[in-house]
């Protein structure tokens, strides 16, 4: 599977890494525990089996629209097959439009059953993951408000990339020259 992700500017990345550190030090699930060199704060837009030539063509157009300013709105929790603690991003018209372009690109050349429904426009919830675990209800610790720093008020999404979940390879998706 290939993800399509956006990376944060340096200041926002440092803020997320600080939240990761605090969660880890408190003994809570944290992305800081993922020691892979590919692990960095990111916003996942979609995932598909393969980045085909038509998908890449469209993603180059998306990359040309960067950087994109965004606003953080606070803490959010998800209970899916995994428990996730994250900082939510405001899904304003610019971010929603960029996301829709990515979704349409991957959906245009991928078998529908391979796409994750929670990435669909209208169902997608933009967020930067702070911690994740398979343990249900892991983020009900009453210390969380004290442990987590406040998210930055704003940030910029600066780089479009893809992560290959099978090989662990990262690829920056650049605009066409």
Rounded CA gap, 169 and 163, in Å?
6
Domain chopping of the chain, boundaries? 2-172
CA distances from 114 to 70, 109, 123 (A): 29, 11, 16
Instruction: Tell me what percent of the residues of the chain surpass a pLDDT of 70.
Output: 99
Confidence of residue 121 (pLDDT cuts 50, 70, 90): very high
Q: What is the pLDDT of residues 35-44, one digit of tens each?
A: 777 789 999 9
- Token couple for 3: 């993800």
Residues 18 and 28: beta-carbon distance below 8 Å: no
* Average pLDDT estimate for 141-168: 89
Q: What is the pLDDT of residues 44-89, one digit of tens each?
A: 999 999 999 999 999 999 999 999 999 999 999 988 778 899 999 9
Residue 130's nearest CA partner among 151, 153, 99 is 151
Bridge pairing between strands 154-164 and 2-8: antiparallel
CATH code given to domain 2-172: 3.90.1140.10
Cα dihedral value 46, 163, 68, 63, nearest 10: -90
- Measured in Å, how far apart are the chain's first and last C-alpha atoms? 27
Rounded CA gap, 63 and 106, in Å?
14
Q: Give this prediction's pTM.
A: 0.93
């Amino acid at each position: 599977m290939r993800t399509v992700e956006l990376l944060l500017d340096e200041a926002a990345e440092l803020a997320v890494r600080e939240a990761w550190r605090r969660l880890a030090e408190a003994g809570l699930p944290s992305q800081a525990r993922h020691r892979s060199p590919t692990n960095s704060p990111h916003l996942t837009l979609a995932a598909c089996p393969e980045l085909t030539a038509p998908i890449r063509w469209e993603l180059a157009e998306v990359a040309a629209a960067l950087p994109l300013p965004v606003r953080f709105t606070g803490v959010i929790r998800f209970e899916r097959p995994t428990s996730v603690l994250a900082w939510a991003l405001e899904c304003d018209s610019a971010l929603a439009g960029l996301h829709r372009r990515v979704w349409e690109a991957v959906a245009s050349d991928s078998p529908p059953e391979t796409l994750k429904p929670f990435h669909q426009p209208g169902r997608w919830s933009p967020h930067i993951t702070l911690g994740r675990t398979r343990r249900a209800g892991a983020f009900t610790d009453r210390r969380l408000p004290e442990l987590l720093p406040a998210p930055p008020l704003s940030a910029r999404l600066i780089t479009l990339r893809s992560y290959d979940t099978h090989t662990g390879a990262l690829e920056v998706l650049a605009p066409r020259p």
